[in-house]
Amino acid sequence: MQDVCVFCGSSAGKDPVFMQAAKALGDAISSASLGLVYGGAHVGLMGQVADAVLEGWQKVVGVIPQSFASKVSHEGLTQLHVVDSMHARKAMMFELADACIALPGGFGTLEELTEVVTWAQLELHQKPTGLLNINGYYNALLVFFDHAVEAGFIKPQHLELLIVHHDPTQLLQLLEDYKLQAASHN
């Protein structure tokens, strides 16, 4: 694993614990000598995770659509790709990374997260996807996913495609283990 894509809120959230978690994830990424790929903005949790990885002297690559590049781009990144659309952005973020992690966020984060899990269940890729569940932020979503399994809309084995943990370092290790396991099966 070399580069991790992080999906997260463009907002900071009301509880400071979410910004602290974004910093902790950035610190864990740089401590593991990994690079970060993300949405390229300086705002909210997005800016915080990028700043933490930069402070650890690791590579940060942003991918941002032309339409709001001038308003929210982070000016200090290792590399910033400006693309034509949100679709092009998501495709590029995914292509550039070996694994994806979602921190707390809103609709944008949920959309990015569920898209990569959908692609995994269709066997379009074997990149691991992690959910960093800070302060139980995602508990209600996980209960809903169980409900979707019970109702017959998500297959139980597909639920396992999402690796959930509350600790950034341990989550990174679980993603690494998943990759090694997938490689040994190929």
Closest residue to ligand AMP, Cβ-based? 108
- How many CA atoms within 13 Å lie on the side-chain side of 4? 34
Q: How far is the CB of 173 from ligand AMP (least distance, A)?
A: 23
d(CA 122, CA 183): 18
Query: Based on C-alpha coordinates, what's the Rg of the chain?
Result: 16
Nearer to ligand AMP, 57 or 107 (CB): 107
**174 phi/psi in degrees, rounded to 5:** -65, -35
Candidate residues 26, 39, 128, 168; the one interacting with ligand AMP per rule CB under 6 A: 39
Q: How far is the CB of 180 from ligand AMP (least distance, A)?
A: 27
Binders of ligand AMP among residues 96 to 115 (CB under 6 A) are 105-109, 112
String marking each residue 67-96 x if it binds ligand AMP according to CB under 6 A: -x---x------------------------
Q: Pick from 96, 99, 123, 126: which is nearest to 113 by CA?
A: 99
Residue 62 binds ligand AMP, judged by CB under 6 A: no
DSSP β-bridge partners for residue 99? 4
